[in-house]
A and B are shown apart, each in its own frame.
Chain A
Amino acid sequence: DAGITQSPRHKVTETGTPVTLRCHQTENHRYMYWYRQDPGHGLRLIHYSYGVKDTDKGEVSDGYSVSRSKTEDFLLTLESATSSQTSVYFCAISEGRGNEQYFGPGTRLTVT
């Protein structure tokens, strides 16, 4: 998985609790992305980062925030998890705009 790890790999949490997912890369790539994958939908971009402390919203950013304090780590936070955020979350990295994106192994999140 191209030097990308995600943690945790599985999580079950209750509605209303905060959740943080971590993406860690060893490739020193500038761009990092968070996607969610749901049945019947293609992968959808939540947020992405184009450098340390530089982030932007994707198409489904409501209810999510991100932080990138160093090149190798990109955190996704659900401030107050809802059942609609039950999904599989993928992190991806790329060297630059338009370049190949390499995906992590995914985190399966269940909000009960």
Chain B
Amino acid sequence: KNQVEQSPQSLIILEGKNCTLQCNYTVSPFSNLRWYKQDTGRGPVSLTIMTFSENTKSNGRYTATLDADTKQSSLHITASQLSDSASYICVVNPPNTDKLIFGTGTRLQVFP
């Protein structure tokens, strides 16, 4: 079983709509939990980083939430744009290590 699982694997939405991506993890506690955006053919780019004690972090139209009790994180995208089409990756940083644990990502497609 993967230590970081994301759902759905893929998602199609219309421009302007909101969406929520899910991340379930087993590593607990952790140093931080990160969400990355990866455009096709590019490297991942950080959207948010949350410590174990935080429960929400925003970056423009992106809001990440964390529920340590259920070991779940969500990434909510508001008023989607065509440029939001990308893969979104949830990453957990266990304590006292640089060895991050990556989810396999959710592929989001935004259509006009």
Contacts and interface: CB of A to CB of B under 8 A. Distances in A.
Interface stretch (A13-21, A40-48, A72-80): A40-48
B89 interface: yes
A62 interface: no
A90 B89 CA distance: 15
Interface in A34-60: 40-45, 48, 50, 58-59
A44 B102 contact: yes
Given A42-B102, A43-B44, A98-B98, 4 more contacts: A42-B4, A59-B99, A97-B97, A105-B42
A45 B99 contact: yes
Interface of A: 1, 4, 31, 33, 40-45, 48, 50, 58-59, 90, 92, 94, 97-98, 100-106
Given A42-B4, A43-B89, A106-B41, A101 B99 contact: no
**Contact-residue bracket for chain B:** 20 to 34
B43 interface: yes
B25 to A, nearest CB: 12
Contacts of B98: 31, 33, 48, 50, 94, 97-98
7 A-B pairs with the lowest CB-CB distances in the bound complex, closest first? A42-B102, A103-B43, A43-B102, A98-B31, A103-B44, A42-B104, A97-B98
Contact of A106 (B43, B99, B101): B43
Nearest to A102: B46
A102 B102 CA distance: 15
A59 B2 CA distance: 14
Given A40-B104, A41-B104, A100 B46 contact: yes
Interface in B70-109: 89, 91, 93, 97-105
Contacts of B93: 98
